[in-house]
Structure 1
Amino acid sequence: MRSEQMLPAEKQALENLLKHAQGATDQSRCVADFLLAWWNPSECGKYDMTTAWGVDDDIMEDMCVVFRLASRAHSYPGKLGYEKQFAAIIREWRPELGESE
């Protein structure tokens, strides 16, 4: 699947979450953990669903859309053209992993 095959709502939800993950709040950390669990769960860690209890409803809706996208796409976000954005999240939230992702 290529990024142009994403539904408009999926693309918007993913881009919203990528922006949230670049913040410095508890919600940003939750979003980053969620996204990185899709990127590489073995290296970046699994996602504890109870952490979502602390996110706003609009963020949760975007997370649900992206979860559906990840399931439907049968691919990692890099295949959708989001390597650079996820690399930035790794630098922010998983600096110990360096540029290996």
Structure 2
Amino acid sequence: MNPDEEAALQRLLDIAKRDTHQSRRVADFLLAWWNAGSCGSFDLTSLWMLDKAIVDDMVTVFALIGHTHDYPDSWGYGPQFEAVVRAWRPELVDA
């Protein structure tokens, strides 16, 4: 992961921590990478409702995913993605 990709991913994770409509869409995108089977997929038309800077970061992370063939925990982002699951998919958290 290069510095630009890392920065884009971190910005998306920061947005996903918030409680806005854009945050929900960013969380959907990130969680589709984490585990689409249990966390759900990402509707590409959601991009229409996001600021350009967010879309640009998603494009960067999308390319990262395609080139590296890795899950986020491979890069040490497991805890951050688990936090996104807790925030946006609490029904998936083991009690």
Task: Tell whether the structures are fold-level matches, with TM greater than 0.5.
Answer: yes
AA paired with 2:22?
A: Q
TM (norm. structure 2) is: 0.97
Using the alignment, how far apart are the partners of 2:44 and 2:63 within structure 1?
15
**Deviation digits for residues 6-63 of structure 1, max 9, x if unmatched?**
1110000000000000110000000000000000000000110001110000000000
Matched, 1:31 2:26: yes
Structure 1 gap segments, 5+ residues each: 1-5
Matched, 1:90 2:75: no
AA paired with 1:91?
A: R
Using the alignment, how far apart are the partners of 2:44 and 2:19 within structure 1?
20
The one of 48, 51, 58 equivalent to 1:63 is 58
Structure 1 residues 83 and 55: alpha-carbon distance in aligned structure 2, compared to 1, 3 A threshold: same
1:40 counterpart SS class: helix
**Consecutive aligned runs of 4 or more in structure 1 exceeding 4 Å deviation:** none
Using the alignment, how far apart are the partners of 2:83 and 2:43 within structure 1?
22
Structure 2 gap segments, 5+ residues each: none
Cα RMSD over matched residues?
Answer: 1.1
Q: How far off its partner does 1:86 sit?
A: 0.2
Aligned to 2:5: 10
TM (norm. structure 1) is: 0.91
Aligned to 1:40: 35
